[in-house]
A = this chain, B = another copy of it.
Amino acid sequence: MSGSKYAYVKSYETPDNLLPGTFIVVRLDGHAFHNLSQKHSFIRPNDERALQLMDNAARDVMDEFKDVVLAFGESDEYSFLFRKTTAVYKRRHAKILTTITSLFTSSYVFHWHRYFPETPLQYPPTFDGRIVLYPSAQEVRDYFAWRQVDAHINNLYNTTFWALVQQGGESTTQAHHTLKTKHEILFSRFNINYNSLPERFRKGSVLVKEDTPVEGEVPEKAQSLDTRDLNNSKTSSQVVLHHCDIIKDDFWDARPFLLSK
């Protein structure tokens, strides 16, 4: 019983190598995370445990893929940046995309109990992913700025929304309505100084693979749960977590290696 007479079907697998010389960005999004957050009683408007679980999964991806030099996370999404010269998996589209999606998902489920020790996972959560190519450094910067602005807008909205519900006594339906009509008034009503909210919520998570810490910056203290970045035996570089601005020049100027060859 030789398979040779059927092997022709393999010729239907078309090559899908990504254009060389471009930056590869992989973005993952949680699937139906509104439901997941309700079923597992996530804290509103931001659940730090859930965000840390995301950050941890992102670290696992960065530890596995040496050419991923930067990652940015907010809410239930995470973006990963490959060096533009990467030859990982011969730049095969599906191979890169599915391996990262699978590893992130696997890590998320595997480590769930560490971040939610009292809340057993009730069903398998999932993520979808996509790859976008950017030809130049400027476009990469604008991509990450786009995501961080999005984090800001979403967080501002959610913070206001849940203030209306939790402190203002509105129903969620009312709160949606209030936000549409009186966004700014309500924002001030609860005396919440938005800028004093934790950077994590306002800026999202920025994971950087760096050889040596950048002068004058103090990365977030490593979680007791996760000291890998301090004792990484695989490579000499460290994956460091920040919650900082990546829209202005400072972040990028201090790390020219991110966008270099």
Would A106 and B124 count as touching, CB distance under 8 A?
A: yes
Contacts of A210 in B (CB 8 A): none
Give the segment of A140-148, A181-189, A213-221 that binds chain B. Answer: A140-148
Name the CB-closest residue of B to A103.
B126
Within 8 A of B (CB), among A34-54: none
Would A10 and B146 count as touching, CB distance under 8 A?
A: yes
Chain A positions 150 through 162: 1 when the CB is less than 8 Å from some CB of chain B, otherwise 0? 1011000000000
Within 8 A of B (CB), among A105-130: 105-111, 121, 123-130
User: Closest approach, in angstroms, between the C-beta of A255 and any C-beta of chain B?
Assistant: 19
Interface size (A, Cβ < 8 Å)? 62
Whether, in the assembled complex, A97 has its beta carbon less than 8 Å from a beta carbon of chain B, the answer is yes
Whether, in the assembled complex, A179 has its beta carbon less than 8 Å from a beta carbon of chain B, the answer is no
Would A123 and B98 count as touching, CB distance under 8 A?
A: no
Within 8 A of B (CB), among A12-49: 12-15, 17, 19-22, 28, 31
Indicate which residue in B31, B95, B103, B133 contacts A99 across the interface (CB closer than 8 Å). B31
